[in-house]
Chain A
Amino acid sequence: AQKITQTQPGMFVQEKEAVTLDCTYDTSDPSYGLFWYKQPSSGEMIFLIYQGSYDQQNATEGRYSLNFQKARKSANLVISASQLGDSAMYFCAMREDFSGGYNKLIFGAGTRLAVHP
Chain B
Amino acid sequence: EAGVAQSPRYKIIEKRQSVAFWCNPISGHATLYWYQQILGQGPKLLIQFQNNGVVDDSQLPKDRFSAERLKGVDSTLKIQPAKLEDSAVYLCASSHPAGDGTDTQYFGPGTRLTVL
**Residues of A at under 8 Å CB distance from B?**
4, 31, 33, 35, 37, 42-47, 50, 52, 91, 93, 95, 98, 101-105, 107-110
Shortest distance between the CB of B97 and any CB in chain A (Å): 9
Q: Select A104's contact among B40, B56, B91, B104, beta carbons within 8 Å.
A: B56
Contact assessment for A102 and B48 in the assembled complex, using a CB-CB cutoff below 8 Å: yes
Surface stretch bound by A, among B17-25, B70-78, B79-87, B108-116: B108-116
Contact assessment for A93 and B42 in the assembled complex, using a CB-CB cutoff below 8 Å: yes
Q: What separation, in Å, do the CA atoms of A23 and B41 have in the docked complex?
A: 15
Contact assessment for A42 and B42 in the assembled complex, using a CB-CB cutoff below 8 Å: no
Q: What separation, in Å, do the CA atoms of A46 and B48 have in the docked complex?
A: 19
Contacts of A37 on B, CB cut-off 8 Å?
Answer: 107
Contact assessment for A103 and B31 in the assembled complex, using a CB-CB cutoff below 8 Å: yes
Can you list 18 pairs linking A and B with CB atoms under 8 Å apart? Answer: A31-B101, A37-B107, A44-B110, A45-B93, A46-B107, A47-B105, A47-B107, A50-B102, A50-B104, A52-B100, A91-B42, A93-B42, A101-B55, A102-B48, A103-B55, A104-B48, A105-B43, A107-B42
Contact assessment for B41 and A109 in the assembled complex, using a CB-CB cutoff below 8 Å: yes
How many B residues have CB within 8 A of the partner chain? 28
Contacts of A31 on B, CB cut-off 8 Å?
Answer: 101
Contact assessment for B109 and A35 in the assembled complex, using a CB-CB cutoff below 8 Å: no
Q: With contacts A42-B109, A44-B110 known, is A33 near B102, CB below 8 A?
A: yes
Q: What separation, in Å, do the CA atoms of A90 and B40 have in the docked complex?
A: 12
Contact assessment for A45 and B103 in the assembled complex, using a CB-CB cutoff below 8 Å: no
